[in-house]
Structure 1
């Protein structure tokens, strides 16, 4: 159970994104910082505009947290308008539409899923790990370049695995530059950095262990049960799924969002289990390479049912 005030908890969440953000900056370059500046600036403007329309004053850090998570989830060097549209749609449709305090859906995932549905090709256009310098990166983001640098982007490991028909897993790791040691190249280190930030948040008692353990545990179990070794029809090892894509960002920074998630510990555990299972199903048989966003939104719909299920199983107290 969290023991901090909401404002303090949000400050710690922002601080805990630093390891993952720095790992992404080291791997992908200035596009990560440009995304963060665009996203946080847009969040401040959206919040200020909504507050003015409502005639209210003040605000909270939740919009900055959502914008930061969105910036870290979006591909570095994506067009500037994609980042702005993701943040604006996430905050307006996912937060302010419901009054800003009782939103049933995770705002960051609303923005991410909206862009994934509307612009699927741009959302899977991730750079190679060498990144770009600041000038080239700014030109790419703002569309000022004439010719993009050669081979600056590639398919992600999850996308390559999903579309694979003939190569074994060993051949994919040997031939495809998107693959690293056990997961996606670069994403292994990014996920480990988010794991470090998430464990620090657990130690700070910002959230409980139930939702992260539920998600990671169910994703590990189902990927282990469906794992077919190195065959061409294999869907990847448990370590591959844990250290690729947005797994650990989702486990510690997305499924733990307190407003749209369950309130009781058992419901949080079931919520995390559902997100992990749906993430694997979407990655393996769905139309999108990484299913964290859709899994979270689908489980947001199930939160009232989970709370009722847990309440019904609570033993009656006799007086």
Structure 2
């Protein structure tokens, strides 16, 4: 035999795609949402995006430098975390809140648990929930066209009517990145086309959420109400860009479907029964905590094992 066999540890099948490649594609996909947010809310939104991304990258660099670890900021994961956090902040967020959120996301949620691939929940959403709990007033105060007011989702919860076309386009109050469903879907379609994500998690998530709203909202199949629920809040941004995070989502196919169901059920419960009109952030991080259990119950059995004796 002239063939040479190399013995190595698993994995034996490797892809050429790298973490840096994936993060670069995610950054591109987030550009429509980011640019619309800056257009919608002005230079203040641009400052928040720049400061939050810079703080996230700087935190990762300084931590790894002082701890004597390999510098990994070139892979783009810290920049993606910073950008996702910025898109989840109100355009009126003060500079210190941007920095605090970025430091919490990178230092506490990511690096203290081992760095990329070891965090147990989405760092950007964990930071958003931390800021929501700590500074509820500032995180839930929204200004649009110089007028302070509630988001359409909050208006919907109090029984007021909302303009679903404005919600679809993005001419509404909200966080920097959650307002325009059209901009979010452009980025989502790009990720689908490039093979970075598939429909399993976001599709199951949205379908389950629709079922929850139809069955338990008391509105039945009210198309206007259902459209407003889908377009309002951070549902679309969360479903396509944060629920699909490779690190904190299940790797098994059946697990991804079950994960999507958990997301839809929790989001529906939080929106319909909770005091807050939102619920996506909490639904995702709670489901992140359930991922080890989900993977355990959906793990495929090895060939030849698990049968009756």
The 1-side partners of 2:16 and 2:129 are apart by 31
> What secondary structure, in the 3-state scheme, does the structure 1 residue paired with 2:295 have?
helix
The 2-side partners of 1:21 and 1:89 are apart by 22
Q: CA 1:193–1:38 in 2, change beyond 3 Å: closer, same or farther?
A: same
1:43 has 2:60 as partner? no
Tell me the equivalent position of 1:84: 99
> What secondary structure, in the 3-state scheme, does the structure 2 residue paired with 1:181 have?
helix
C-alpha distance after superposition, 1:154-201 (max 9, x if no partner): 111222233x1xx5x5xx33xxxxx44374862586122111101110
The 2-side partners of 1:27 and 1:182 are apart by 12
Q: CA 1:219–1:44 in 2, change beyond 3 Å: closer, same or farther?
A: same
Shift of 1:285: 1.7
The 2-side partners of 1:38 and 1:152 are apart by 24
The 1-side partners of 2:16 and 2:297 are apart by 26
C-alpha distance after superposition, 1:266-285 (max 9, x if no partner): 21121122112211211222
Q: CA 1:90–1:288 in 2, change beyond 3 Å: closer, same or farther?
A: farther
The 2-side partners of 1:121 and 1:288 are apart by 13
C-alpha distance after superposition, 1:17-54 (max 9, x if no partner): 01111222222222221111110110121011101121
The 2-side partners of 1:99 and 1:318 are apart by 35
The 2-side partners of 1:20 and 1:81 are apart by 23
What are the ranges of 5 or more consecutive residues in structure 2 without an aligned counterpart? 1-14, 173-177
Tell me the equivalent position of 2:18: 5
The 2-side partners of 1:182 and 1:22 are apart by 17
The 2-side partners of 1:228 and 1:261 are apart by 32
Tell me the equivalent position of 1:222: 212
1:181 has 2:169 as partner? no
The 1-side partners of 2:19 and 2:260 are apart by 22
Q: CA 1:69–1:81 in 2, change beyond 3 Å: closer, same or farther?
A: same
> What secondary structure, in the 3-state scheme, does the structure 1 residue paired with 2:180 have?
helix
Q: Number of matched residues?
A: 281
Tell me the equivalent position of 1:148: none
CA contact 1:27–1:186 (8 Å) conserved in 2: yes
1:275 has 2:270 as partner? no
1:75 has 2:61 as partner? no
TM-score by length of structure 2 reads 0.84
> What secondary structure, in the 3-state scheme, does the structure 2 residue paired with 1:298 have?
helix
Correspondence list, 1:187-206, <5 A: 190-206=180-196
Correspondence list, 1:226-237, <5 A: 226-229=216-219, 237=225
- Of 86-95 and 236-245, the range deviating more from structure 2: 236-245
Which of 223, 228, 235 is residue 247 of structure 1 equivalent to?
Answer: 235
Tell me the equivalent position of 1:112: 128
1:16 has 2:1 as partner? no
Q: CA 1:69–1:108 in 2, change beyond 3 Å: closer, same or farther?
A: same
Let me know the Cα RMSD of the aligned residues: 2.4
CA contact 1:10–1:62 (8 Å) conserved in 2: yes
The 2-side partners of 1:72 and 1:37 are apart by 11
C-alpha distance after superposition, 1:240-277 (max 9, x if no partner): 11111111111111001111211112211211221122
- Based on CA coordinates, which of the two structures has the bigger radius of gyration? 2
Tell me the equivalent position of 2:304: 318
Tell me the equivalent position of 1:146: none
Tell me the equivalent position of 2:11: none
